[in-house]
Amino acid sequence: MCVNNNKDILNDIINASEKFSGNDAMVIDGIHYSYRDLIGKAKGIAAFFNDPTERIIGIIAENKIETYASILATLLTGRTYVILHPAYPPERNIGIIQQTGIHTILHSKKYDVGILGSNRTRWFCTSDISSASGKDKWTKTESKDYAYIIFTSGSTGIPKGVPISRKNLNAFYNAYCNLGWNLDSNDRLLQMFELTFDISVVSFLYPLTIGACEYTVGNETAKYLKVFDILETEHISFASLTASILQLFSPYFQDVFLPDLKYVGLTAEATNADMVKKLSKSAPNALFVNLYGPTESTIFCTAYFLPKEGEIKGHNGTVAIGKPFEDITAMIADGNGEKITDGSQGELWVSGPQIMDGYWNNPEKTSEAIVTASDGKVYYRTGDICYMDNESDIIYCGRGDSQVKIQGFRIELGEIEYAARKFLNNECNAVAFATPTDGMMELHLVIEADKCDTESLMEGLRHLLPGYMMPKTIHLLKPFPTNTNNKIDRKAIKETYTK
């Protein structure tokens, strides 16, 4: 358990790796890797960085020890890492490479360079790099470079880069530790998140700071079954889970018993309180914690510890997001950016050392999201509609704009619409919306047309969008209804298909 606010996450990883060098650090696809193995691979990869001007490193997302070692090597040598997913459309990855100026890409197996469409990048297979066996203590390189850049959905079809500084990361780390986790080197933690998703950062790095062992989950088709198999058979102590995973596995709750779970982090999506109550019967010793935070605020910035008994706070069945982390100021703002004090709903704004400075090379989007309030503090506008109760807990009510979360990924509906219009040569309007179905969010797309080859459109979208952004259905509607301002009435369109 952390007890101060001056800890450095990378120094703590180095210290733990020396203290627990023979302990298991990671279990990947049933293969056990010690701290000595992980750090040895990271040192070997780090020695391969021989160009001091190479500051941003691309890493292909794979469930491999070399991938995780590459992340450590990049961080500990003072560089910035950017994750590229081989299953994402080349156009998306190419855009990220172009935005960041990546010239070096690390991967653990041979890939067709065409998946990223760039002949100007240098590809290095980390499986071919020997581990370092030296016993000298490894010290991290002091750096002012960002720790990582994560790209989120953008309404223009261009992903937005969220650069997280080392200061941001350490501020998060100290606040996260001070939540009071009772965990040590004997514990086992789960890492089930895609490396393109920021929760993977804490799921990977935090266990290494305490000498614990983490179990990873690859991108299997039935991932939720693999997750609960690991939870049960490997006696996991701490697991962060999404609402989607809980929903998919809910029919099997009665068949599992998880007495070793100390903590369950509820994260990435709005969580249904009834679902938590069902899972709690399978994990009778676990404390459930709802962890909330936009990528821009460095992973999580509020927490709500669910009571073992009694009422779970929330709104329309959705669990509350609780109180701000240490050093985070949260404000519910009205339409004029003034603080709401009477318990009414408004937009959640957050301020503090975890907040990013701004989007990567995007001053326009930065000026929209990062604002100075009347109290003189700089805030990030989350776009989430919340209110604060009389015990200062933040109650989440939903999104205030066109962003939704699907499978834990934040999505701009406008990006789906942009892709559809692009495929249709901008000859048709498009509206995307999401609806809850059996506790999960599903995407739908409406095209303003009498006729459209929807099968071809769906196939075209697969080449433009990641799988989690694909609509479940495509509808045709012409003409689109308009409101009194002669704008497309999105609400009316959605209601047409959700009555």
Mean pLDDT for back-to-back runs of 10 residues, the chain (499 residues): 75 96 96 96 91 92 94 96 89 89 86 57 84 78 94 75 97 97 97 92 98 90 79 94 79 87 90 85 94 96 94 87 96 93 93 97 94 94 92 88 74 83 82 79 90 91 90 90 62 83
Interacting residues of 418 by C-beta distance below 8 A, sequence separation 6+: 155, 156, 157
Domain boundary among 399, 433, 450: 399
What pLDDT is stored for residue 484 in this prediction?
Answer: 40
In the three-class reduction of DSSP (H, G, I as helix; E, B as strand; rest coil), residue 396 is classed as strand
CB 360 within 8 A of CB 100: yes
Q: Are residues 427 and 466 in the same domain?
A: yes
What pLDDT is stored for residue 116 in this prediction?
Answer: 58
Asked if residue 176 belongs to a domain, the reply is no
What pLDDT is stored for residue 1 in this prediction?
Answer: 46
Q: Are residues 426 and 465 in the same domain?
A: yes
| H or E element that contains 238 | strand 238-241
Domain boundary among 367, 399, 431: 399
Q: Are residues 486 and 453 in the same domain?
A: yes
Residue 347: which domain range?
A: 324-399
Q: Are residues 418 and 446 in the same domain?
A: yes
CATH number reported for the structural domain that contains residue 361 in this entry? 2.30.38.10
Asked if residue 85 belongs to a domain, the reply is no
Domain boundary among 399, 431, 462: 399
Tens digits of per-residue pLDDT, 333-376?
A: 998 999 999 999 899 999 999 999 999 999 999 999 999 999 99
Asked if residue 164 belongs to a domain, the reply is no
What pLDDT is stored for residue 157 in this prediction?
Answer: 64
Q: Are residues 485 and 413 in the same domain?
A: yes
Q: Are residues 417 and 390 in the same domain?
A: no
Asked if residue 134 belongs to a domain, the reply is no
Asked if residue 255 belongs to a domain, the reply is no
Count the domains in the chain.
Answer: 2
Q: Are residues 414 and 477 in the same domain?
A: yes
Angstrom CA distances, 376 to 138, 216, 284, 379, stand at 41, 43, 45, 9
Q: Are residues 382 and 449 in the same domain?
A: no
Asked if residue 173 belongs to a domain, the reply is no
Asked if residue 57 belongs to a domain, the reply is no
Q: For the whole model, what pTM was predicted?
A: 0.82
CATH number reported for the structural domain that contains residue 433 in this entry? 3.30.300.30
Q: Are residues 381 and 428 in the same domain?
A: no
Nearest to 76 by CA among 45, 98, 37, 51: 45
Torsion over CA: 114, 115, 119, 122 (sign)? negative
CB 140 within 8 A of CB 76: yes
> Residue 249 and residue 258: Cα distance in Å, rounded?
14
What pLDDT is stored for residue 403 in this prediction?
Answer: 67
Q: Are residues 341 and 395 in the same domain?
A: yes
Q: Are residues 364 and 424 in the same domain?
A: no
Q: Which residue has the tokens 């990378």?
A: 10
Q: Are residues 330 and 389 in the same domain?
A: yes
Angstrom CA distances, 358 to 367, 371, 399, stand at 8, 10, 21
| DSSP labels, 133-155 | ---SPP-PPP--S-SEEEEE--T
Asked if residue 475 belongs to a domain, the reply is yes
- Phi then psi for 256, rounded to 5 degrees? -120, 150
Tens digits of per-residue pLDDT, 61-104?
A: 999 999 999 999 999 999 999 999 888 888 888 889 999 999 89
